[in-house]
């Protein structure tokens, strides 16, 4: 798209769309909009490859990889993931699910990936497709122009140089930096959920055999849950998502506290008995949040820049990329057919709210004893197990008719909760206590 439709440019550079952030959401949006003929600039504060958590992808990601033309590259660096297993100290057996048993049988697998490699694939693809990708450049300020004419963005390079861009549309894909959310004071701690996370990489962890080697393992324990994600290069990502009240008891260095947590989960400790921690232990508090808006007349918030929820179902990358696909369509409509902009933005907003809402119902209850029972002893009456697996696969935006079965599953949950009223009340009380913790303990910061 030509700059002819833009007002005179007082900035040093002009573009149709400026994207803040080169993670999965930003790189995907930049790729799609460049393919549509728009002049796109992507500013990323870091240099790829860079470390990021969130290595477990969902089957619903794969059609998006195909559309971007990166499936083969992702497969080359990924560990194939056919399913997930749940291990509970309160149940006599573990429970394994395979995505092939979901309602839609066409998405039987996904990948576990090192995010440094995965994210670099996506951002290099954006550059190949015509986006102007600039790394080591942090956005410092954005000023929206009168009459919805776009924005002027000021950014600072690693070497201290400042530059300005004028864009017709601004996309915030800054992740947990939540650039616009903070600027608008729109970011809010999720009042229904609060947790903290600690994580690191191990080598020499004991994995499952055969086809199940790439399964993600979820270990419940007294203070929350652990993830266990095998990577193709032999490393294993292990993380603990815990009640903030327990994190507040920490009196040892983060690394020691993390290892002490692992020791309280015998099933996981056994898998790591001969393993070596080969990375720093990272930590973050105030894990779950959302912004009170997903868009304005000339801006969008994508992925984690809009909301972040507990990672138990590995939904982060899928929601980020899906938001980028929907966001690119909305931006293209706003720029080419302004008379249809309001409708396109309303549709985008519905999609942004839909994803977190569908996952959140389960996330809010995943540490509840009743929900654990349903996961550990599933039934397929009215196809509820297939519907649950569809959620685990990320198949929540398509035409798969899972919603009636999910309503049945929720009814079963509520009936079982009432049948075990004392246990339900104690779980509710503990949860209410924990979500009141707003600040992370000293030494544990948010990203």
Query: Model confidence at 9, in pLDDT bands (50, 70, 90)?
Result: low
* 381 plus 413 within the same structural domain: yes
* 243 plus 386 within the same structural domain: yes
* 66 plus 163 within the same structural domain: yes
* 355 plus 375 within the same structural domain: no
* 302 plus 414 within the same structural domain: no
* 140 plus 270 within the same structural domain: no
Q: Quick: pLDDT tens for 142-151.
A: 999 999 899 9
* 51 plus 144 within the same structural domain: yes
* 182 plus 202 within the same structural domain: no
The total number of structural domains that make up the chain: 2
Across the chain, mean pLDDT equals: 91
State the CATH number of the domain containing residue 86. Answer: 3.30.9.100
Q: Quick: pLDDT tens for 158-179.
A: 999 999 999 999 999 999 999 9
What number is the average pLDDT over the span 81-108?
94
* Alpha-carbon span 356 to 49, nearest angstrom: 28
Q: Quick: pLDDT tens for 307-366.
A: 998 777 889 999 999 999 999 999 999 999 999 999 999 999 999 999 888 888 888 888
The structure's pTM equals: 0.92
* 302 plus 273 within the same structural domain: no
* 126 plus 141 within the same structural domain: yes
Query: Model confidence at 435, in pLDDT bands (50, 70, 90)?
Result: low
* 395 plus 344 within the same structural domain: no
User: Which of 308, 331, 359 marks a domain boundary?
Assistant: 359
Burial track 264-276 (b if 16+ CB lie within 10 A, e otherwise): ebebbeebbeebe
Say yes or no to pLDDT of 404 above 70: yes
| pLDDT in the model for residue 287 | 67
State the CATH number of the domain containing residue 137. Answer: 3.50.50.60
User: Which of 341, 359, 377 marks a domain boundary?
Assistant: 359
User: Which of 332, 359, 386 marks a domain boundary?
Assistant: 359
* Alpha-carbon span 120 to 56, nearest angstrom: 16
> Which domain range does residue 88 map to?
79-111+194-287+365-447
* 330 plus 424 within the same structural domain: no
């Amino acid at each position: 798209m030509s700059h002819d439709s833009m007002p005179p440019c007082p900035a040093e550079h002009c573009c149709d769309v400026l994207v803040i952030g080169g993670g999965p959401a930003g790189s995907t949006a930049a790729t799609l909009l460049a393919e549509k003929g728009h002049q796109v600039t992507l500013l990323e504060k870091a240099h790829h490859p860079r470390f990021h958590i969130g290595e477990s992808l969902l089957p619903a990601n794969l059609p998006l990889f195909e559309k971007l033309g990166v499936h083969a590259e992702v497969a080359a660096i990924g560990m194939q993931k056919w399913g997930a297993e749940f291990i509970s100290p309160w149940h006599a057996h573990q429970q394994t699910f395979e995505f092939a048993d979901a309602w839609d049988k066409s998405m039987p697998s996904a990948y576990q990936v090192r995010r440094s490699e995965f994210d670099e694939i996506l951002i290099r693809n954006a550059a190949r497709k015509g986006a102007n990708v600039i790394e080591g450049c942090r956005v410092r300020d954005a000023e929206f122009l009168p009459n919805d004419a776009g924005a002027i963005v000021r950014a600072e390079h690693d070497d201290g140089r400042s530059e300005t861009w004028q864009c017709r549309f601004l996309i915030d894909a800054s992740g947990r930096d939540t650039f616009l959310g903070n600027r608008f004071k729109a970011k809010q701690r999720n009042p229904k959920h609060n947790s903290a996370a600690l994580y690191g990489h191990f080598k020499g962890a004991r994995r499952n055999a055969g086809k199940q080697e790439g399964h993600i393992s979820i270990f419940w324990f007294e203070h929350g849950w652990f993830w266990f994600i095998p990577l193709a290069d032999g490393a294993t990502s292990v993380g603990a998502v815990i009640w903030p009240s327990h994190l507040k008891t920490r009196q040892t260095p983060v690394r020691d506290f993390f290892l002490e947590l692992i020791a309280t989960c015998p099933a996981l400790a056994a898998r790591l008995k001969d393993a070596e921690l080969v990375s720093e232990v990272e930590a973050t508090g105030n894990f779950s949040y959302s912004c009170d808006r997903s868009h304005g007349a000339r801006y969008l918030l994508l992925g984690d820049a809009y909301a972040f929820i507990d990672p138990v179902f590995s939904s982060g990358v899928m929601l980020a990329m899906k938001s980028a696909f929907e966001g690119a369509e909305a931006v293209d409509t706003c720029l080419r057919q302004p008379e249809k902009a309001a409708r396109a933005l309303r549709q985008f907003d519905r999609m942004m709210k839909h994803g977190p809402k569908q996952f959140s119902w389960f996330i809010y209850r995943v540490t509840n004893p009743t929900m654990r029972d349903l996961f550990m002893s599933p039934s397929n009456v009215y196809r509820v197990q297939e519907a649950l697996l569809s959620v685990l696969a990320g198949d929540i935006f398509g035409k798969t008719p899972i919603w009636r079965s999910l309503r049945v599953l929720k009814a079963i949950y509520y009936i079982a909760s009432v049948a075990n009223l004392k246990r339900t009340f104690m779980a509710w009380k503990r949860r209410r206590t924990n979500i009141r913790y707003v600040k992370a303990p000293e030494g544990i910061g948010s990203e």
